[in-house]
Structure 1
């Protein structure tokens, strides 16, 4: 296995594990920020290493279970559920403020909405909403994680699995930027 970590302080995962969790995440109805994929890759690397200690080679897992799928799912649960007790209104507003700042740093127009953050669409943003011209609504839930949709009644919602932190808001902003620029296509079509 190839360790991508240069020091013991950095993330310790293999390139194979990262590729496996990235592939597993691609089959989910959510988008994942890099730090969450790295977290899942670390878990998968550790699981493979434990298996090897018990005489189970890395490749032998494939025929019995989707270990990469399990790693993505169990790690994602840590990010898409709020800690108990739920986030306060002040915490949600603070996270929205971090998101607005990060979006503006990326050159996007963002403003507080009710109850999320409204991001102006760009010329390459996929069509959405009743007339195809809806802006983007990004939210952090008091009892859950991040999500975005077109700012229109009845619009489909896409989860973004990311930490509920300033760093997580910056990573969410990167995904929203990619969507607004048309780099992700219309993720709401399935």
Structure 2
């Protein structure tokens, strides 16, 4: 006779919030918004919802604001997708802390969790673990040129090695003798923003080295050229 297997003996995988029906997702959000702490998966002990949000929802506004404040204190530029990724990691840190009986304020009273999340994600978009190939660099260079053009910016020659020059925009700030900026991506670097000149300081644009990341880079460069974003060259003086 085959042994009888009880439901309690089954090694079932945890149910991911995204796999739940919409009605259950909304119920979990409401339960977690009551101020009684996070909603926990009884089978695994994992937090599935907190403060009216599923753990798989978009990053919380509070965590995004905290990450932005940290990045605003640095000289580099940070793409929106990087801010969102760091905020999601911070939300995960806070959910784990709540799982261990700590509320958010006690868990990150000194801001160390927010700083750890921001810096861990930023490091992913600086120097790569493996050097990029020539084919990858060529593809991303073409993607950057296309993205800058799509932003309505004028791509110009540059003395910056492997760089793409960008002309200044009317009414915007100017740098150096040419007035514009340049962006470069190397085999062992992230996206780098420079003055369009032979001798220049560079600042990392933390963004994915992908076609989508190139679009974010172009948008950030456009914001600097308009004067709408913090100018790393002037803030470093």
TM-score by length of 1: 0.87
Q: Is the 8 A contact 1:2 1:14 kept in 2?
A: no
The reply on whether 1:105 has 2:150 as its aligned counterpart is yes
Give runs of aligned pairs for residues 101-180 of structure 1, distance below 5 A.
101-111=146-156, 113=158, 114-129=161-176, 131=177, 133-180=178-225
Q: Which runs of 5+ in 1 are unaligned?
A: none
Q: Is the 8 A contact 2:162 2:186 kept in 1?
A: no
Output the CA distance in 2 between the equivalents of 1:18 and 1:38. Answer: 6
Q: Is the 8 A contact 1:118 1:151 kept in 2?
A: yes
Output the CA distance in 1 between the equivalents of 2:85 and 2:211. Answer: 17
Q: Is the 8 A contact 1:4 1:15 kept in 2?
A: no
Q: Is the 8 A contact 1:115 1:139 kept in 2?
A: yes
Output the CA distance in 2 between the equivalents of 1:186 and 1:15. Answer: 25
Greater shift, 111-120 or 33-42, is seen at 111-120
Q: Aligned residues, how many?
A: 183
Residues 41-85 of structure 1: per-residue CA shift (max 9 Å, x gap)? 11000000000011111111343442211111001111112232x
Output the CA distance in 1 between the equivalents of 2:53 and 2:233. Answer: 35
Output the CA distance in 2 between the equivalents of 1:167 and 1:112. Answer: 24
Select the structure with the greater relative contact order (CA < 8 A; seq sep ≥ 6).
1
Select which of 67, 71, 80 maps to 1:34. 80
Q: Which runs of 5+ in 2 are unaligned?
A: 1-50
Q: What is aligned with 1:80?
A: 126
Residues 88-119 of structure 1: per-residue CA shift (max 9 Å, x gap)? 12211110100110111111111564411111
User: SS where residue 184 of structure 2 aligns?
Assistant: strand
Cα-Cα RMSD: 2.0
TM-score by length of 2: 0.71
Which has the larger Rg? 2
